Amino acid sequence: MLRLLPEFIGRNIMNPLLNHLKPYPFARLREAMQGIDAPEGVTPIHLQIGEPKHPTPKVITDALTASLHELEKYPLTAGLPELRQACAEWVARRYDGLSLNPDNEILPVLGSREALFSFIQTVLNPASEGPKPVVISPNPFYQIYEGATILGGGEIHFANCPAPSFNPDWSSLPEDVWQRTKVLIVCSPNNPSGSVLQLEDWKEIFDLQDKYGFVIASDECYSEIYFDGNKPIGGLQAAAQLGRGTRNIIMFTSLSKRSNVPGLRSGFVAGDAELLKNFLLYRTYHGSAMSIPVQRASIAAWNDEEHVIDNRRLYQEKFDRVIPILQQAFDVKLPDASFYIWLKVPDGDDLAFTRNLWQKAAIQVLPGRFLARDTEQGNPGEGYVRIALVADVESCVKAAETMVALYHR
């Protein structure tokens, strides 16, 4: 029987910063839906979580199974040279000839979520006394940004993303916050709105960086889901077009959305070689090396664009069919990119809207307020719901038709 020493009884011996983490949006959704049942006999349509549902391409599964014998080897944290080369070649194809050194400007990671979480903690230098270092995030936002900041001993501040552009309003932040800022997080294409920054938006960010000296963490995990050939510009690409180098810029990307492999946990980060050198050191201790079969599958994925084109075609079909239906009853438009619809609800109560959809039609969406934080300017997620078009085409169409039937006036 385990016995605690008297001096430990009643003491909290865990990291106290864990107490500052807030419930994840989906945990808040489950709590909000308690006691609300879907109608009997109706098949639920789950559109609340951004988990790709398209089949994993055979080119990836074949590469994975063909290399299972390599599970007998320990992987290196820096990854296989062949993987870093494949990533560099993909960057050059995708971003109009952008050239990166695969030896020191690219680092494989276990998906962008893991990388964002650990990178922010690598950069922050928590002060034992005095003001905390600041991380600036768009609002609404991906909650990993906040958790990483808190556990890294930092302080997060939010730049709201108001309509109609849904891009961050950097001017809303005061001078004293900028003076303490160590990391600025950019999410383009944006989760949840799908908005995409343009070159002039990046110039504004770079001007702020020149003034305050922060690191830019550019989350680009939705960059390959776009429409009508309108490729979103990336952070490193924008820097190159404006005559800048990679200093203090890191991009994060992933195969999860691009290649329908959320369970593979594979992506890479790229940019400033000095930052990546220190990030590699952190990761060596962190124990976050990618298994070799996953690396082989990732090489196959980054080298193949046909499955990505097919994937975009499926999302394009969903949006082409769903948006005109929803426009019969809602203020909604095609996003710049991503597989999300950021829907403005008719009466402004996103939580009541979410509960009503589930209770009357077994359709589940995510209230926008759960993706944002309250600020002096309000909660920019209130009055919106996020709809992830990840189900099959017919289910998405059925959901849209049902929503219109419930709310058309």
Spell out the domain ranges in the chain.
22-51+307-407, 58-304
Residue written as token pair 């959305």: 257
Strands 181-187 and 366-367: unpaired
Domain 22-51+307-407 sits in CATH at: 3.90.1150.10
Residues with Cβ within 8 Å of residue 164, at least 6 apart in sequence:
none
- In angstroms, the CA 160 to CA 19 distance is 25
- In angstroms, the CA 124 to CA 72 distance is 36
pLDDT value at position 129?
77
Contact 221, 259 (CB under 8 A): no
Question: What CATH architecture does domain 58-304 belong to?
Answer: 3-Layer(aba) Sandwich (3.40)
What six digits make up the tokens of 343? 């829907």
pLDDT value at position 216?
98
Q: Which of 339, 338, 271, 258 is nearest to 301 (CA)?
A: 258
- In angstroms, the CA 144 to CA 142 distance is 6
Segments of the chain with pLDDT less than 70: 1-12, 128
pTM exceeds cut of 0.85: yes
pLDDT value at position 290?
98
pLDDT value at position 11?
59
Distances (CA, A) of 207 to 159, 204, 242: 16, 5, 11
Hey, what amino acid is at 8?
A: F
Contact 363, 217 (CB under 8 A): no
Contact 133, 155 (CB under 8 A): yes
Contact 136, 172 (CB under 8 A): no
Residues with Cβ within 8 Å of residue 316, at least 6 apart in sequence:
227, 228
User: Is 66 in a helix, a strand, or coil?
Assistant: helix
